[in-house]
């Protein structure tokens, strides 16, 4: 047989039989976002002069990618709270946006609870997609899982939220709820669903590190679409037979994961982050109308100029070091309450402020939570315990990292957690372990938020604990102003000063 005849034979064979060879092989696409936090508009992250994000551009990319192959659009939580665009409507704007974009499912994030359970229930009732939370007991509107069918492939999607939710939102917001073990609940539903679905997806809001541990411990998970840690996972990470992905934050990236499924198994995958930047003329016009509608409402309320910043105010690094923005917020709290020192968690501060005009909306973005100032009597020993807790999870970028006023301290990151703090000075004098000092903080930490047990325990030891008429009271509580949110106190301060130039002063020093 001549060579050309052999080639022709193989071509003919492939044309006739290839469809049968690959007939049981199906391609599907998972599109995903996480930790949107209401950042609908493009912005320049701290330290960058380049614009990122813009939900109108991300939505346009979703529309384009959906045309290429059958797709799921998933959210890994923390969608409705933080940026003013979301906060002014208590997340209603975000739900309208997600309905329009036709999300297939969302796992609840810890910050979905920040407006309280009544608001959360209203937001869930407005969704046109299931909101998942398999390990949450007491909120019946949450579904543990949903099964979606794509091109004949059944995908079971299980929602898991961080067990730390009770200490990462105000305790009043999760009253009556229980947050069960991620591992045990995931294992339970994987076993239940393995014979009902071709692939199993965990839609997770527990953080990338915890996702990896979950993949190691619970067998049978095909994909974990993660959130909570704001991790930029450029390519899918494989842990055993589990693929783990996460798409950064604030609509600055759209995650894309392509799967080839055969006989109920993933036989091929490819994934990447599609970076989102403004691209004039490529907006989703329908989504743009929603963004503009709520932007006008926000601007009408929050566009008042209150002062000027002579330098950039750093809210980007508040979870790992002293920053000038952390200093000014802590200073305001200390002076307003008449306290000796102030300690707040870096997670209270959510964004930066650029050099130039400072408007009401800038401060509202920095301090989006409804927190007020509380001042408590603590011994020097208790202050050290609080600071030890604050630096105990720097490696994880935990929100507990302290920003301080009226004191300075040194810590050693390489030391064992709980034994990292060295010298502490208050008013330039070594701290006295037995002496009581007045410590300003916010009501979130005062109630034990971010697992700052020392504050909560001090208040519980007081008479009349915990809260009377909305105000924390007791013999250890020296100041408690529930009538003014912290952000409003900061706004008053900036209005009074007119120009602000906060600096990094060496209040927090890492030693080798």
Element spanning 359, H or E: strand 356-359
Q: Give yes or no for residue 94 having a pLDDT over 60.
A: yes
* Residues 279, 309 share a domain: no
Residues 78 and 215 occupy one common structural domain: yes
Q: Domain for residue 8, yes or no?
A: no
Q: What is the CATH number of the domain that holds 90?
A: 3.60.21.10
pLDDT at 16 > cutoff 80: no
Same domain, 319 and 273: no
CATH code where residue 367 lies: 3.90.780.10
Q: What is the helix (H) or strand (E) element at residue 211, kind and residue range? A: helix 208-217
| Domain assignment of residue 14, yes or no | no
* pLDDT (mean) for 100-120: 97
Of 293, 319, 343, the residue at which a domain comes to its end is: 293
pLDDT band at 464 (very low <50, low <70, confident <90, very high): very low
Residue 2 in any domain: the answer is no
**150-201 pLDDT, tens per residue?**
999 999 999 999 999 998 888 889 999 999 999 999 999 999 999 999 999 9
State the pLDDT confidence band at 472, using cuts at 50, 70 and 90.
low
The boundaries of the domain holding residue 284 are 23-293
Answer for the pair 339, 479: CB distance below 8 angstroms, yes or no: yes
* H or E segment and range at residue 158: strand 153-161
Cα–Cα distance, 341 to 353 (Å, whole number): 24
Q: Are residues 221 and 279 in the same domain?
A: yes
Lowest mean pLDDT among 204-208, 257-261, 456-460: 456-460
pLDDT at 272 over 70: yes
| Residue 269 forms part of a structural domain | yes
Q: Is residue 315 part of a domain?
A: yes
Instruction: Report, as an integer, the average pLDDT of 41-59.
Output: 94
Q: Which residues contact 180 (CB under 8 A, 6 or more apart)?
A: 135, 136, 137, 163
Specify whether 263 is located in the same domain as 324: no
270 prior amide bond cis, ω within 30: no
Residues 405 and 284 in one domain: no
Query: Which residue from 348, 424, 429, 417 is spatially nearest to 388, judged by alpha carbons?
Result: 417
Number of domains in the chain: 2
Determine, yes or no, domain membership for 455. Answer: yes
For 279-309, write each residue's pLDDT tens digit.
999 999 999 999 999 999 999 989 999 999 9
- What percent of the chain has a predicted confidence (pLDDT) above 90? 87
Residue where a domain terminates, one of 259, 293, 327: 293
pTM, to two decimals: 0.85
Q: What are phi and psi of 295, to 5 degrees?
A: -65, -40
Residues 6+ apart with CB under 8 A from 12: none
At 299 the pLDDT is 94
Mean per-residue pLDDT of the chain: 93
Percentage of the chain surpassing pLDDT 70? 93
Q: Which pLDDT belongs to residue 197?
A: 98
Residues 246 and 315 reside in one and the same domain: no
Residues 333 and 339 sit within 8 Å (Cβ to Cβ) = yes
- 393 and 500 share one domain: yes
Are residue 282 and residue 321 in the same domain, yes or no? no
Q: Is residue 299 part of a domain?
A: no
Q: Let me know whether 286 and 309 are in one domain.
A: no
- On whether both 502 and 385 belong to a single domain, the answer is yes
75 pLDDT above the threshold of 60: yes
Q: Is the peptide bond before 3 cis (omega within 30 degrees of 0)?
A: no
- State residue 481's pLDDT score: 87
Is-contact 445 455, C-beta < 8 A? yes
Dihedral of CA 174/175/180/185: which sign? negative
Q: Is the pLDDT of residue 460 over 80?
A: no
Residue that terminates a domain, selected from 293, 320, 344: 293
Query: What is the rounded distance in angstroms from the CA atom of residue 151 to the CA atom of residue 508?
Result: 56
Q: Are strands 105-107 and 305-309 parallel, antiparallel or unpaired?
A: unpaired
pLDDT of residue 15: 46
User: Could you give phi then psi for residue 78, rounded to 5 degrees?
Assistant: 55, 60
Going by DSSP bridges, is the β-strand pair 237-239/178-179 parallel, antiparallel, or unpaired? Answer: unpaired
Residue-wise burial string across 477-500, b where 16 or more C-beta atoms lie within 10 A, e elsewhere:
bbbbbbeebbbebbbebbeeeeeb
Same-domain status, 286 and 339? no
* Average pLDDT rounded to a whole number, residues 383-411: 97
Checking if the pLDDT of 470 tops 50, the result is no
Is residue 340 one of the residues assigned to a domain?
Answer: yes
């Amino acid at each position: 047989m001549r060579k050309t005849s052999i080639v022709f034979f193989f071509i003919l064979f492939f044309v006739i039989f290839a469809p049968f060879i690959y007939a049981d092989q199906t391609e599907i696409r998972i599109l995903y976002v996480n930790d949107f936090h209401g950042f609908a508009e493009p912005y320049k992250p701290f330290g960058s002069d380049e614009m990122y994000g813009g939900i109108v551009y991300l939505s346009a990319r979703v529309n384009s990618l959906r045309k290429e192959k059958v797709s799921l659009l998933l959210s890994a939580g923390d969608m409705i709270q933080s940026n003013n665009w979301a906060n002014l409507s208590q997340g209603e704007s975000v739900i309208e946006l997600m309905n329009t974009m036709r999300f297939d499912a969302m796992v609840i994030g810890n910050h979905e609870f920040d407006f309280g359970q009544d608001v959360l229930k209203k937001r869930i009732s407005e969704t046109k997609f299931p909101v998942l939370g398999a390990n949450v007991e007491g909120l019946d509107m949450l579904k543990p899982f949903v099964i979606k069918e794509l091109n004949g492939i059944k995908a079971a999607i299980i929602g898991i939220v961080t067990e730390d939710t009770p200490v990462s939102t105000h305790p009043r917001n999760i009253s009556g709820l229980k947050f069960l073990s991620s591992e045990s609940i995931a294992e339970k539903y994987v076993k239940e669903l393995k014979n009902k679905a071709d692939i199993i997806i965990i839609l997770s809001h527990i953080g990338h590190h915890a996702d990896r541990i979950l993949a190691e411990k619970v067998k049978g998970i095909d994909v974990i679409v993660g959130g909570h840690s704001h991790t930029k996972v450029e390519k899918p990470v494989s842990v055993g037979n589990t693929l783990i992905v996460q798409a950064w934050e604030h609509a600055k990236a759209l995650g894309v994961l392509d799967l080839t499924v055969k006989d109920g198994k993933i036989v091929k995958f490819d994934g990447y982050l599609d970076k989102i930047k403004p691209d004039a003329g490529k907006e989703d016009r329908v989504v743009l109308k929603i963004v503009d509608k709520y932007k006008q409402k926000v601007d009408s309320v929050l566009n008042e100029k209150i002062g000027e910043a002579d330098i950039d105010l750093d809210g980007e690094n508040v979870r790992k070091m002293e920053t000038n923005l952390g200093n000014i917020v802590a200073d305001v709290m200390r002076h307003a309450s008449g306290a000796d020192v102030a300690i707040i968690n870096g997670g209270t501060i959510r964004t930066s402020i650029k050099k130039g005009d400072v408007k009401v909306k800038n401060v509202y973005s920095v301090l989006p939570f409804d927190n007020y100032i509380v001042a408590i009597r603590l011994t020097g020993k208790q202050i050290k315990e609080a600071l030890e807790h604050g630096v105990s999870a720097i490696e994880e970028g935990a929100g507990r990292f302290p920003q301080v006023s009226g004191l300075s301290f040194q810590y050693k990151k390489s030391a064992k957690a709980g034994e990292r703090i060295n010298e502490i000075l208050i008013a330039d004098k070594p701290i006295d372990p037995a002496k009581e000092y007045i410590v300003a903080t916010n009501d979130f930490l005062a109630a034990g938020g971010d697992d700052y047990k020392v504050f909560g325990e001090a208040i519980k030891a007081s008479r009349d604990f915990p809260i009377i008429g909305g105000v924390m009271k007791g013999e250890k509580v020296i100041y408690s102003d529930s009538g003014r949110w912290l952000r409003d106190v900061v706004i008053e301060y900036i209005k009074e000063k007119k120009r602000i130039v906060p600096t990094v002063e060496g209040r927090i020093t890492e030693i080798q």
